[in-house]
Amino acid sequence: MAHHFDHSRVFHRQLQQRPPEAASGQGMYLFDTEGRAYLDASGGAAVSCLGHNHPDVIAAMHRQIDRLAYAHTSFFTTDVAEELADVLIASAPQGMSHVYFVSGGSEAVEAALKMARQYAVEIGQPQRRHFIARRQSYHGNTLGALAVGGNAWRRAQFEPLLIDVTHVSPCYEYRDRSADETPEQYGQRLLAELAATIETLGGDKVLAFVAETIGGATAGVLTPVPGYFRGVRELCDRHGILLILDEVMCGMGRSGTLHACEQEGVVPDLLTVAKGLGGGYQPIGAVLVQERVVDAMRRGSGLFQHGHTYLGHAVACAAALAVQRVIARDGLLERVRARGERLGARLRELLGAHPHVGDIRGRGLFWGIELVQERSTRQWFDPALRLHARLKAAAMAEGLLIYPMGGTVDGRCGDHVLLAPPFIASEAELDALLVRLDRALSRTLADTGLTS
């Protein structure tokens, strides 16, 4: 039954607009209570990697609920949590030995920040207190995650509450690489900036460098230039600084490998994952942790001084275990690579010469399209137009779910569209996505008095 918005007691994200009511989902589609079908090309915010209502995941959740829904982790462990940790460690970057289960991405980032601090204390370096992160990044909305995040708009009004974090430049080739630089030289320039920042703070005072391996929600899929993360790893090692890679959005297969850092040839100390871990079937996130970090706590205080009521929730672990098993069983990472390559090529065919498309970038089934008013100057649209919001609405009217966002350039200016279709997408469904996207973009520009 559809409820009238005026009577809604839900504190919705938008307080002046009524979102449609989702009724059901099946594969690549969500259906609302009016019977409208939406092709899900972003899995919400890059969450639904197996699409909706996957029978194997639903069955695994039913089996778990019928047995045990919840047991507090200060009393018990469960077979599903143990199995999921085994599966994740078997496929984790080298040296990772344990998994800390939480309920989402922000919680994973919070836990990683506190782990970094406690690790420093445990190894007798309590003077380490600074985090370095990057502008334009997104690490979540809880206070610690917001503090390391570099999105100016999201931070602004909460600034007085945020811990002090030093932000360096993002790896944003389209806007920041100068014409006379190779991608590698640009990467070296960024590393020099990071090195100088470490120097200023004092290498022995820094806890960790925090970065999304591929910048996601707030910057529109910023892929790193070659050598950048290797250089970051070297700098961290030189100063005993931990490297926290946040793969809440780009990880768990989204980029074509299980972890995006595999393609960079680097191994982080702490790796945060969420979204695709449970594919939206349950709220779950995790921190994958290097053995030496766990060891320091085991030999030291014997515990990580943290915790939440729903850590390692049994139904969430059962759902995530089922999601990861389906991905492995059905060879979906290969499919992400193949379909992703084709999607990227098609996007470039369709929009590569579009007068208002400045950049198309991505990996796997994770693509960003940056919109510009003027291609030659890369001038962005007037933020007052809220082009991203108009495009989202136009796409929904076309029966398409995409994830556009504003503030791409500096937290206020710039618009991009993020595409993150489920790994199960067929070529025909991805083609349908492109047709609808093209129509929505044309309609949005026409309604704004612009033409394509």
| Cβ atoms of 255 and 423 closer than 8 Å | no
Q: Name the CA dihedral angle for 99, 95, 279, 431, rounded to a multiple of 10 degrees.
A: 170
User: Does 138 help bind ligand PLP (rule: CB under 6 A)?
Assistant: yes
We find the least distance from the C-beta atom of residue 75 to ligand PLP, in angstroms, to be 26
Choices 24-32, 196-204, 245-253, 407-415; region in contact with ligand PLP by CB under 6 A: 245-253
Q: In 10 A of CB 327, how many CB atoms?
A: 22
Nearer to ligand PLP, 101 or 381 (CB): 101
Considering only residues 246 through 275, tell me which ones interact with ligand PLP, judged by CB under 6 A.
246, 248-249, 274
Give the strands of the sheet with 415-419, arranged side by side.
357-363, 366-371, 415-419, 403-406
CA distance 4 to 8: 7
Binding pattern for the stretch 106-125 against ligand PLP, x by CB under 6 A and - elsewhere: x--x----------------
User: Does 403 help bind ligand PLP (rule: CB under 6 A)?
Assistant: no
User: Does 217 help bind ligand PLP (rule: CB under 6 A)?
Assistant: yes
Considering only residues 191 through 210, tell me which ones interact with ligand PLP, judged by CB under 6 A.
none
Copy the structure tokens of residue 57.
């995941």
Contacts 24+ apart (CB under 8 A), 79-85: 80/314, 80/317, 80/318, 80/321, 81/312, 81/314, 81/317, 83/317, 83/321, 84/317, 84/320, 84/321, 84/324
Task: Please tell me the count of residues contacting ligand PLP according to CB under 6 A.
Answer: 15
User: Does 406 help bind ligand PLP (rule: CB under 6 A)?
Assistant: no
Copy the structure tokens of residue 271.
């790796």
C-alpha dist (Å) from residue 123 to 117, 126, 243, 291, 297: 10, 8, 16, 14, 9
We find the least distance from the C-beta atom of residue 218 to ligand PLP, in angstroms, to be 8
Give the residue ranges of DSSP H helices in 92-172. 105-122, 143-148, 152-156
Of 212, 264, 370, 415, which one interacts with ligand PLP (CB under 6 A)?
212
User: Does 312 help bind ligand PLP (rule: CB under 6 A)?
Assistant: no
We find the least distance from the C-beta atom of residue 106 to ligand PLP, in angstroms, to be 3
User: Does 88 help bind ligand PLP (rule: CB under 6 A)?
Assistant: no
User: Does 61 help bind ligand PLP (rule: CB under 6 A)?
Assistant: no
Report the interface residues with ligand PLP, using CB under 6 A.
Answer: 45, 104-106, 109, 138-140, 212, 216-217, 246, 248-249, 274
